[in-house]
Structure 1
Amino acid sequence: MDLNTITEVIRRPSERPGADWREGDAWLAGGTWLYSVEQPDLRRLVDLTALPWEPLVPTDDGLEIGATCTVRDLYAFPRPERWTAGILFRKSCEAFLSSFKVWNAATVGGNICMSLPAGPMITLTVALEARYELWAPDGSVRFVDALDFVTGDHRNVLAPGEILRRVTVPERALRGRTAHRRFTLTRLGRSTVFLVGTQRPGGNDLLLTITAGTTRPVRIAFDSLPDARTLRGSVDAVPADVWFDDPNGTPDHRRHLARHFAEEIRRELTAGDLA
Structure 2
Amino acid sequence: MDLNTITEVVRRPSDRPEEEWRDGDAWLAGGTWLFSAEQPELRRLIDLTALPWDPLVPSKSGLGIGATCTIRELYAFAPPGDWIAGTLFRECCEAFLSSFKVWNSATVGGNICMSLPAGPMITLTVALEASYELWNPDGSTRSVDALDFVTGNNRNILAPGTILRRIDIPARALRKRTAHRRFSLTRLGRSTVFLVGTRTPGTSDLLLTVTAGTTRPVRLAFDTMPDAGTLRQSIDAIPADVWFADPNGTPGHRRHLTQHFAEEIRRQLTPGGPS
Partner of 2:99 in structure 1?
Answer: 99
Cα displacement string for residues 152-193 of structure 1 (whole angstroms, at most 9, x for unaligned residues): 000000011000000000000000000000000001100000
Partner of 1:172 in structure 2?
Answer: 172
Distance in 1, Cα, partners of 2:266 & 2:274: 12
Partner of 2:181 in structure 1?
Answer: 181
8 A contact 1:204–1:273 mirrored in 2: no
8 A contact 2:204–2:271 mirrored in 1: no
Correspondences of 1:81-120 after superposition (within 5 Å): 81-120=81-120
8 A contact 2:178–2:196 mirrored in 1: yes
| Pairwise CA distance, 1:101 | 1.7
| Pairwise CA distance, 1:273 | 5.4
Q: Please give the secondary structure, in 2, of the residue aligned with 1:101.
A: helix
Correspondences of 1:232-243 after superposition (within 5 Å): 232-243=232-243
Q: Which amino acid aligns with 1:21?
A: W
8 A contact 2:268–2:274 mirrored in 1: no
| Pairwise CA distance, 1:29 | 0.1
Distance in 1, Cα, partners of 2:271 & 2:247: 35
- The answer to whether residue 55 in structure 2 is matched with residue 55 in structure 1 is yes
Correspondences of 1:10-159 after superposition (within 5 Å): 10-159=10-159
Distance in 2, Cα, partners of 1:176 & 1:271: 13
Distance in 2, Cα, partners of 1:123 & 1:41: 30
Partner of 1:223 in structure 2?
Answer: 223
Cα displacement string for residues 115-173 of structure 1 (whole angstroms, at most 9, x for unaligned residues): 00000000000000000000001110010000000000000000110000000000000
Distance in 1, Cα, partners of 2:75 & 2:152: 27
Tell me the TM-score normalised to structure 2 length.
Answer: 0.99
Q: Which amino acid aligns with 1:79?
A: P
Q: Which amino acid aligns with 1:150?
A: V
Distance in 2, Cα, partners of 1:274 & 1:247: 34
What's the RMSD between the two structures over aligned residues?
Answer: 1.0
Distance in 2, Cα, partners of 1:178 & 1:259: 18
Tell me the TM-score normalised to structure 1 length.
Answer: 0.99
| Pairwise CA distance, 1:274 | 7.9
Cα displacement string for residues 240-259 of structure 1 (whole angstroms, at most 9, x for unaligned residues): 00000000000000000000
Distance in 1, Cα, partners of 2:94 & 2:115: 18
Correspondences of 1:2-17 after superposition (within 5 Å): 2-17=2-17
8 A contact 1:30–1:107 mirrored in 2: yes
- The answer to whether residue 237 in structure 2 is matched with residue 252 in structure 1 is no
Aligned residues: 275
Cα displacement string for residues 87-134 of structure 1 (whole angstroms, at most 9, x for unaligned residues): 000000000011122100000000000000000000000000000000
| Pairwise CA distance, 1:271 | 5.4
Runs (4+) off by over 4 Å: 271-275
Q: Please give the secondary structure, in 2, of the residue aligned with 1:35.
A: helix
In structure 2, relative to structure 1, the CA distance for the partners of 1:91 and 1:272 (3 Å cut) is farther
Identity of aligned residues (%): 78
8 A contact 1:172–1:201 mirrored in 2: no
Distance in 2, Cα, partners of 1:203 & 1:66: 32
Distance in 2, Cα, partners of 1:154 & 1:75: 24
Q: Which amino acid aligns with 1:195?
A: L
8 A contact 2:196–2:209 mirrored in 1: yes
Q: Please give the secondary structure, in 1, of the residue aligned with 2:34.
A: coil
Q: Which amino acid aligns with 2:187?
A: R
| Pairwise CA distance, 1:60 | 1.3
Distance in 2, Cα, partners of 1:119 & 1:68: 16
| Pairwise CA distance, 1:49 | 0.3
Q: Which runs of 5+ in 1 are unaligned?
A: none
Q: Which amino acid aligns with 1:110?
A: G
Distance in 1, Cα, partners of 2:6 & 2:129: 37
Cα displacement string for residues 225-271 of structure 1 (whole angstroms, at most 9, x for unaligned residues): 00000000000100000000000000000000000000000001115
